[in-house]
């Protein structure tokens, strides 16, 4: 019951983080000329458009899940190359999570001047998960392993042959990712990165 209660407290932050992350991918793809996300109903912050129900169920049970990936056709991009377009679309998701985390931190900083003590406790109970979930989502998705956003961002920055390595890695990326998670290596690597990002955002705010 305690774990269920905790999950329900964190649920709004999880839903917001996932929904805005995927919406950002869809929005940037649409602005670059690919309207595939629009036609598939992904150009929205409605969580129902972005929830993968298996990923959501696993999130509730084992605290690891995923949203429905936004499908993009890079051949439709205008004014940018395919590599640059995919880099921008991929960067949009983590960038949106960082914006949400900053918004949450600003709320925690300035709401004490506006709310009563009781309301402030409720607001803080909701905003703290919003900050942490979005920092975690941003940090996790920036890892350069396919299918995570970081692999496409790095591929867009590297020269051709080096970038090609990440494209060739894509069929095996999910297996590599799961092995890193199950073995505990991912947590060891990710935790310092998460706390570094949180420290930087705290300094900014």
**Cis, bond preceding 69 (omega within 30 deg of 0):** no
Sign (positive or negative) of CA dihedral 64, 88, 153, 79: positive
Judged by DSSP in three states, 67 sits in: strand
| Catalytic (active site) residue 22 | yes
Judged by DSSP in three states, 199 sits in: helix
Per-position b or e across 98-108, b if 16+ CB within 10 A of its CB: bebbbebbebb
Q: Choosing from 2, 6, 22, 128, which is the catalytic residue? A: 22
Distance of alpha carbon 104 from alpha carbon 2, whole angstroms: 25
Place of tokens 């964190």: 10
The token pair that represents 56 in the structure block = 């959501």
- Nearest Cα neighbor of 45 from 70, 62, 64, 66 is 70
Q: Which H or E element spans position 189?
A: helix 185-204
Q: Which residues are catalytic?
A: 22
């Amino acid at each position: 019951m305690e774990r269920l209660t905790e999950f329900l407290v964190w649920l709004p932050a999880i839903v917001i983080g996932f929904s805005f992350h995927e919406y950002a991918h869809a929005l940037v793809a649409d602005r670059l000329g690919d309207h595939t996300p629009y036609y598939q109903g992904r150009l929205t912050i409605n969580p129902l458009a972005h929830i993968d129900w298996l990923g959501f169920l696993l999130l509730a049970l084992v605290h690891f899940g995923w949203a429905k990936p936004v499908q993009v056709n890079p051949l439709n991009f205008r004014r940018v190359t395919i590599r640059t377009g995919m880099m921008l679309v991929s960067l949009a998701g983590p960038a949106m999570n960082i914006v949400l985390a900053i918004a949450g931190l600003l709320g925690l900083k300035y709401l004490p001047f506006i709310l009563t003590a009781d309301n402030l406790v409720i607001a803080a109970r909701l905003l703290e998960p919003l900050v942490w979930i979005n920092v975690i989502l941003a940090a996790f998705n920036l890892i350069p392993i396919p299918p995570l956003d970081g692999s496409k961002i790095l591929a867009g920055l590297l020269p051709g042959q080096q970038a090609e390595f990440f494209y060739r890695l894509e069929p095996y990326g999910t297996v590599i990712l799961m092995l890193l998670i199950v073995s505990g290596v991912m947590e060891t690597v990710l935790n310092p990165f998460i706390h570094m990002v949180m420290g930087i955002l705290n300094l900014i705010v």
